[in-house]
């Protein structure tokens, strides 16, 4: 049996919910695009993937919940359904 960190499971579930509601792609106002996991990393750690952690933190989970509850990052320009 594979052990999965609780934060990882929570982020996977969040990605599933956000994809269902909004589509697979998050667009920035300047035209770049990310999947939901990448978009959360951009929000938390900036656009350079070298600065992204290997696993989500409890702070990442809280930011994801905030986003889901309507606190959309300023840089988000839209979603692709």
Whether the pTM exceeds 0.75: the reply is yes
Evaluate if residue 55 carries a pLDDT over 70: yes
Report the run of H or E that residue 32 belongs to, with start and end.
Answer: none
8, pLDDT greater than 80: yes
> In the chain, what is the straight-line distance between the N-terminal and C-terminal CA atoms, in Å?
35
pLDDT, tens digit, 9 for 90 and up, residues 56-78: 999 999 999 999 999 999 999 99
pLDDT in tens, 22-49: 999 999 999 999 999 999 999 999 999 9
């Amino acid at each position: 049996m594979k052990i999965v960190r609780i934060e990882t499971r929570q982020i996977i579930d969040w990605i599933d919910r956000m994809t269902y509601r909004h589509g697979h792609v998050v667009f920035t106002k300047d035209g770049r695009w990310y999947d939901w996991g990448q978009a959360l990393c951009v929000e938390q750690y900036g656009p350079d993937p070298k600065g992204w952690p290997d696993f989500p933190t409890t702070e990442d989970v809280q930011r994801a919940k905030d986003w889901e509850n309507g606190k959309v990052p300023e840089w988000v320009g839209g979603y692709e359904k």
